[in-house]
Amino acid sequence: QNEERDGVRFSWNVWPSSRLEATRMVVPLACLLTPLKERPDLPPVQYEPVLCSRTTCKAILNPLCQVDYRAKLWACNFCFQRNQFPPAYTGISEVNQPAELMPQFSTIEYVIQRGAQSPLIFLYVVDTCLEEDDLQALKESLQMSLSLLPPDALVGLITFGRMVQVHELSCEGISKSYVFRGTKDLTAKQIQDMLGLTKPAMPMQQARPGQPHEQPFVSSRFLQPVHKIDMNLTDLLGELQRDPWPVTQGKRPLRSTGVALSIAVGLLEGTFPNTGARIMLFTGGPPTQGPGMVVGDELKVPIRSWHDIEKDNARFMKKATKHYEMLANRTATNGHCIDIYACALDQTGLLEMKCCANLTGGHMVMGDSFNTSLFKQTFQRIFSKDFNGDFRMAFGATLEVKTSRELKVAGAIGPCVSLNVKGPCVSENELGVGGTSQWKICGLDPTSTLGIYFEVVNQHNAPVPQGGRGAIQFVTQYQHSSTQRRIRVTTIARNWADAQSQLRHIEAAFDQEAAAVLMARLGVFRAESEEGPDVLRWLDRQLIRLCQKFGQYNKEDPTSFRLSDSFSLYPQFMFHLRRSPFLQVFNNSPDESSYYRHHFARQDLTQSLIMIQPILYSYSFHGPPEPVLLDSSSILAERILLMDTFFQIVIYLGETIAQWRKAGYQDMPEYENFKHLLQAPLDDAQEILQARFPMPRYINTEHGGSQARFLLSKVNPSQTHNNLYAWGQETGAPILTDDVSLQVFMDHLKKLAVSSA
């Protein structure tokens, strides 16, 4: 329903009218919100929004409000306060409505004219403990990025290895830098004193009414405009050398990532708080020295694995995580974001550092080397532009959620931090980051998506609220990449229904795709603090309860079990979710799990579903490419398969196809259709590869190839000999173990759903 327009997908599109009934729905009332969804058809309006005058409300004028055009009054649909229109609106009438009252503008964007506009800031924090080729490739990427940055943006450089160097950028030709030891952490004040930053640059918040532009912004010696400094910085980058400290045999380089980040955060805090900035950390290995170190410098002591963590054998983890969490929270408070670009063959400490990206909305990119197309192109795409020629990246967003009084906000899951704003909309029960109706997202783009969870608070047997509809308003204030401040407002409404008499309506309005992603986010959120098996048990329990409530069946008769169309895909999603790298950690390193979870917690619905249940398309001579079941039965000798897991694109040639290709039939003119068949999936794969951020890995394999394991591990193994399954031992609650096939899983599910026990 209007996802294209509003960027919102709800788990339920008809809402149960009482709290008790809502909890019986099993899947909470929740939505996926993409606050800055790309809307080429929505030009922003050049005036400021009209607010409800009640201080505890302040909702924004929207199409759901009742308007008295003669008396020039409007009634807030959230608190029912009657408000006077401001003087500028004296000319409005039924035939001359302002845009924000028109139903097609349920989502509308305002441009804020007042206030100084501050430039975007990019602070590069670069690891020099890299191999020569890698460092050269990284240097070139950074030099290239200077051509992609807006000319007015400010740019800075910190390099680190054993020591941390803050480079003073000047046009004078003599480059100076301030050197810090990598072993000792410093407070923000110490950093600012040592760098000679006395007081912050011109305060950002001073509004100068009537002045649309352009105070020449005080730049610091360490952060200079690109158009002034690009030539010198290009040379400076070109001259960067590998960290000079020798690394002896059997040792890792001493890498002071923790202090380097700390200095970066402190530098921005002291010079440009409260304005859009990215700290971009480029690292080629784990932190091995100082606060935030993740492993020692002895190579024979490996970096922690999941096994180590389970056995409580990860010495540095807690302390390091704490260090980075402290930095991440400070950065979010300052309105800045931290990106991590980690390219190495072994782990780099993403597990400990993940909060830096997750709390601030920064990016996390994981590759094998800076000298790969995966890194180079992913990095280029950070600077991609939209249809207007503006950068897609946006900064410093605050999201506020307002609800009609029958609803409260329980929390949000996504790349955000809480602003701790209490109020009438805030529920006492927390799901995700709760206890607030406002969150801060310091770095975001048109695909950034939050999961927002609600609680129905209407009492049981209380009448369905007058008007029959509940409403929610999402207000996102942010800094656009053109440096304008904007406000995007989305206001939606849905019908209430009495669950007892109108269950069918509610059932038909279930959005299984949104529900699957919202439940998955809850599961992954839990997995950060709970034991893996407990999360799976919870997930299974919710699925069984959902089937018990909404399945059609005769008691004790599993074969009679049916789910209506609006639920038919849901158990499949849950099956694949249980097997996914988001909930199954033992096939991945802690860094890999962190990487996958990072992306899962911020992508939009379509991409999230791809991550949960990869897409599989089959190409054959018999017609256009068709979607097929993610099942081993789809692997056929005369088919080519294209699998998209979001992180990988796999092209797999069936046995016969592979033999034909080996025999060279595609080069013979009479078999041109075979040539086309081979090309078709390559073209489709290319289209995905050209657009996706981050860039996926690309696997082109065939029957019997070693890389075929990527496909084989994802498909449901329905074609193997029967698996034995075990009932859960400890707690007595049944576990549907994950080595089973979908068929066995479904059999189990049906048995449990229909049983009266």
Partner 1 sequence: MAELYVKPGNKERGWNDPPQFSYGLQTLAGGPKRTPLTKRVAAPQDGSPRVSTSQTSPGPPPMGPPPPSIKALGPPPTGNCPASSAEPTNFPVIEAETLLEDVLKPLEEALEDCRGHTKKQVCDDISRRLALLREQWVGGKLSVPVKKRMALLVQELSSHQWDTADDIHRSLMVDHVTEVSQWMVGVKRLIAEKRNLSSEEEANEEKSTATAEENQTIPGVQEA
In the window 369-428, what residues touch partner 1 (CB under 8 A)?
369, 371-377, 380-381, 384-385, 387
Spell out where 597-738 has E strands.
615-620, 623-627, 640-644, 648-653, 697-702
Q: At closest approach, how far in Å is the CB of 79 from partner 1?
A: 40
From 399, 400, 396, select the one nearest 481 (Cα to Cα). Answer: 396
| Residue 469, beta-bridge partner list | 495
First to last CA, the chain: 38
Q: Which residue number, 674 or 725, has a Cβ lying nearer to partner 1?
A: 674
By C-beta, is 372 or 482 nearer to partner 1?
372
Q: Hey, what are 441's tokens?
A: 């997202």
Q: Determine which residue in the list 66, 187, 211, 690 makes contact with partner 1, applying CB under 8 A.
A: 690
- What number of CA atoms fall less than 13 Å from residue 375's CA on the CB side? 24
Looking at the Cβ atoms of 371 and 404, the one nearer to partner 1 is 371
Are the beta carbons of 27 and 515 closer than 8 angstroms? Answer: yes
Contact of 701 with 651, CB cutoff 8 Å: yes
Contact 541, 429 (CB under 8 A): no
* Whole-number Å distance between alpha carbons of 288 and 295: 5
Give CA torsion, residues 621, 624, 630, 631, to 10 deg: -30
Residues 38, 297, 346, 684: which binds partner 1 (CB under 8 A)?
684
Residue 3 interacts with partner 1 (CB under 8 A): yes or no: no
552 binds partner 1 (CB under 8 A): no
Decide whether 74 or 391 has the Cβ nearer to partner 1: 391
What distances in angstroms separate CA 410 from CA 57, 337, 520, one per listed residue?
Answer: 18, 25, 17
Q: Which of 621, 709, 726, 727 binds partner 1 (CB under 8 A)?
A: 621
Our finding on whether 171 is near partner 1 (CB under 8 A) is: yes
Smaller CB separation from partner 1, 217 or 561: 561
Tell me how far, at minimum, the Cβ of 619 lies from partner 1, in Å. 8
Q: Which is nearer to partner 1, 433 or 677 (CB)?
A: 677
Considering the rule CB under 8 A, would residue 723 count as an interface residue with partner 1? no
Residues 483-522 that bind partner 1 (CB under 8 A): none
Residue 7 structure tokens: 């960027």
Least separation in angstroms between residue 670's CB and partner 1 is 6
Q: How far is the CB of 97 from partner 1 (least distance, A)?
A: 32
Which residue in this structure is represented by tokens 């997750």?
358
Asked if residue 143 binds partner 1 (CB under 8 A), the reply is yes
User: x/- contact string, 178-217, with partner 1 (CB under 8 A)?
Assistant: ----------------------------------------
- 107-136 positions binding partner 1, by CB under 8 A: 133
d(CA 576, CA 630): 9
Enumerate residues 313-372 that contact partner 1 by CB under 8 A: 367-369, 371-372
Burial degree of 61 (CB within 10 A; 0-12, 13-18, 19+): buried
Query: Are the C-beta atoms of residues 303 and 346 closer than 8 Å to each other?
Result: yes
**Which residues 574-613 are close enough to bind partner 1 by CB under 8 A?**
606, 609-610, 613
How many CB atoms are closer than 10 A to CB 463?
9
CA 247-249-251 angle, to 5 degrees, is 60
254 forms part of the interface with partner 1 (CB under 8 A): no
631 touches partner 1 by CB under 8 A:
yes
Taking CB under 8 A as the criterion, the residue among 43, 86, 203, 238 binding partner 1 is 238
Least distance from partner 1 to the Cβ atom of residue 441, Å: 26
Mapping DSSP onto H, E and C, the string for 183-198 reads: CCCCCHHHHHHHCCCC
Ranges within 639-678 binding partner 1 (CB under 8 A): 642, 644, 648-649, 656, 659-660, 663, 665, 670-671, 673-674, 676-677
